[in-house]
Every structure is written in C-alpha cells, then in structure tokens.
Chain A
Amino acid sequence: MEEDAECAKLKIPARLHRLERAEISEFEESEELYRRVDPERIKDEGLAMAAITFHGTGMSVNRQGPPSMRLCQYPEDVLFNTKDGKHYDGWSILTFTAEVVKKFSWDHPATKKQFTLELKHAPDTCMYPHSDVRLISEGSQRQSVGAKRFSLEFKDRVAALASARKEGCLVPQD
C-alpha cells in the first residue's frame, strides 16, 4: 500500500494517509462519526458535554466513510493523533451517526434562531477520515450559540446524540 513518508514516521497506518484522495462531501446517514475522549476526564455521561466544542473549524471527528468505501476501518483509528503520532490507548470514543447530526436542530430559547449541525469532510495529510462538525445558524458557521447558559444546554443536547463506544467508559450519571 502506498504511504506518506511523514505520516509513516508518526506510525499512522498507511490506510489513513490522505495521499491523492479527494474530499467526499456527502455523508450517508448510516455513517458513523468518532471523537476520542479521555475517560479519566469524561467519566460518565453527565460530563460528556465537556468534550463538545465548536470553536475553530468545528468539532473534530473521524468519519467512518460510506459503506462502499470505509475510510475508518476501525473506530479506534480515531485514537491516533496526527500531530504527534501518539495513540490514545484506553480512551473512550464518542460515536455519532451522520443521520442524527444532520437532523439535529435547536431553537435558541431567547432569539428563536435555529441552530443546526453540518458535516464537513476535512482530510488531514495523515488522517484522511478527519472531518468537522460545524455549528450553523442563518447560513453561517458559528462558534457558539450565545449566552453561556444556552451554550451549556446546547452542548448537553449535542452530547446526548452520542453514545460511548467503549463499553464501561462512560456510565450513566445518576
């Protein structure tokens, strides 16, 4: 298999290197999205919102890829960090489906503006499945929903879309 020499130095598996592959703009509804979280920090579902952020280009995830071309052969591929090559063994994986993300909408209680989530395939050189979940309102990308109590509520709603892939890492909060 062809590989990127720099990515290989980071010990990122060759199947994840972007090489000459193009972006795939469409996300099929059944496709899964993965985000790694530290189980020492995010100890239960009640804390999952602490892993949610829309700053910068959006919330980083790995996409599974369409059924015809799986980009993430394993959900655990998201445990590779392409910045330093570190592999986050033992971390949990928040898993979303493209369907729930694409269908999600939230009406701001005060402004009544609607917020939605948008998926953008944003391949990294060493992580072709890398994608962003973007916060959208009135046709533009946003960094937050405004007042912090709404931000807290919004992040709870988004976190509720996810399930924890690694059994036992995120337990229900009582």
Chain B
Amino acid sequence: MSVATQQRSPITAKAEQWDVFDNWDVFFTRVRASAHGSLSTNIGVSSEEEIKTENTENRLPTIFYLSDFYAFGYGSTSPAKSPTDNPELVEERSPEHAAEFFAPAYTYRSYSVNASLCCEVSFGTSTDTATGVVLYPLTGTVNLSEGFAKFRDQIGSFEHLPEGWDSYDAKAPTKEAVSKALRLLDKLKEEDCLPNAVIPTSDSSILVRYVYGERTFRWEFYSDGEVAYSRDINGAPREYFDVTDEKLELPLISF
C-alpha cells in the first residue's frame, strides 16, 4: 500500500462534522473547502469489494457529490470516529472520478452532480456494527473560483434562453430573477459553499440548490422578482419561505 500524493493545489479544508447513522451502518461527513479552492476529506474504505457489496444491498447511497475529486482512501475498521484517531492506511486510489471508483453503483449520480464541488463530500462503506467503520478525509482538489465563475456565467446566460427552451413553452428568466440569483451566489461564495444545481425552470424562474450545514436549500428566483426557498433537514418535513428584498441581504446563516 502506498500513500496518496496526487494533490493539485494546497489542501486546507477540514472535516466539519462526523455523524453516524448506526441503523444504516453508514458514516457521513461534510467537508468545507477553503477559500483557496481546495478540498480535503478522507473516506474510510477497507476494500473495493466491500463497497460493491454495500451498494447492492439497497442501503443509503454511499457516495455522492464526489465527481471531480481526486480521491485517496484511508480506511480503518477500528472504532475510531474522528480523523484524528490514527486511521490505518488501507489503500491508495486516484480515479478520475472518485465516485465511479468507490461506488460503481452510483456512477450516474456522480456524473449527474458534476458541478457539486461544494461542501458535500461523503462517505460510507459496508461496516461492522460492532466496531464501526470510520471515514477519513480523502484528498481532493476543487477550484471553487472556477466553480463560482461557471455558475455566474450560467445564471447570466439564462436571461438569453430562447422561448421554449425546455422544449415546451418556457420563457427565459427575467433580468430581475438573474440579478437576485447572482446576489445569492455572492453570498454562497462568501461562505465557500458552491451550489450543486443551478438551473432554469419551466416556470421561467431560476432554481439554486446547495447544502449548508446539515440543510439542503433550494431557492427559486421568479421572473416577477419574487423569491422563495425551501429548507430540508434530514427526517424533518420540508419548510418553505418567502424572501423579501431586505431578507435577501441577510447572511447565509440566517436562512
């Protein structure tokens, strides 16, 4: 076994939280990227075979939002539950698409969220409930600046979509919707939280989805200038809110 060394830029991120879903034998973590655009996390994997087994058992998806990451696994079957507990190096992995390598059953998922460079790195492997399996940071590289620039360009382009762009009768979102969506993107950039989806909707609005803390947010910017968002927390009913212009100026943590 060898140590992973493939880093394309300085890694400065740290794991923010370590949660354990004992019922599913899956560990979960999120990692926030640094302002410099690099991301680092570890995933505890003891073998590829175990992961394949896990994925055929219809359990929780084991990896998502991982594409574009260079991934190196450090695994342990010890009961340690934080990255500071001396993980045993198991194996080096450096696939082009980490999710494809680690979780073959979820390859599509990884491609489907290939803009999801933010905040959301996960996790998981088959596990022994007696000992647990630990997830450790996986080394990856994310250029947040490029990610935000890409989304900024995308949002700006929505205004110029041709009528019927959705193959039905959708119109392009208005300049006002674009402007407000860009204001949210600025807030997300301040927090290094890259959205995992920025799309126009058939209602001629703009939808921005991101994960912040433990919550998944979906903001919808309507062409009449109104704004609303939904907030999901694991296990709780989804909540919906309207957003006034004043509220849109509040820090991200306010929502």
Contact = CB atoms under 8 A, between A and B. Distances in A.
Contact of B202 (A50, A172, A173): A50
A44 B112 contact: yes
A151 interface: yes
Contacts of A52: 202-203
B201 A156 contact: no
Given A55-B203, A83-B164, A174-B60, A152 B240 contact: yes
Interface of A: 36, 38-39, 41-44, 46-47, 49-53, 55-56, 60, 81, 83, 86, 88, 91, 147-153, 155-156, 168, 171-174
Contacts of A86: 167
A39 B109 CA distance: 12
A147 B240 CA distance: 11
Interface centre among B167, B204, B207, B226 (most CB of A within 10 A): B167
B220 A55 contact: no
Contacts of A147: 228, 242
7 contacts: A43-B112, A46-B209, A47-B209, A86-B167, A156-B230, A173-B216, A174-B64
Contact of A148 (B112, B204, B207, B228): B228
A36 B170 contact: no
Contacts of A53: 168, 170, 201-204
A57 to B, nearest CB: 9
B241 interface: yes
A171 B113 CA distance: 11
Interface string B122-139: 000000000000000000
Contacts of B209: 46-47
B123 to A, nearest CB: 11
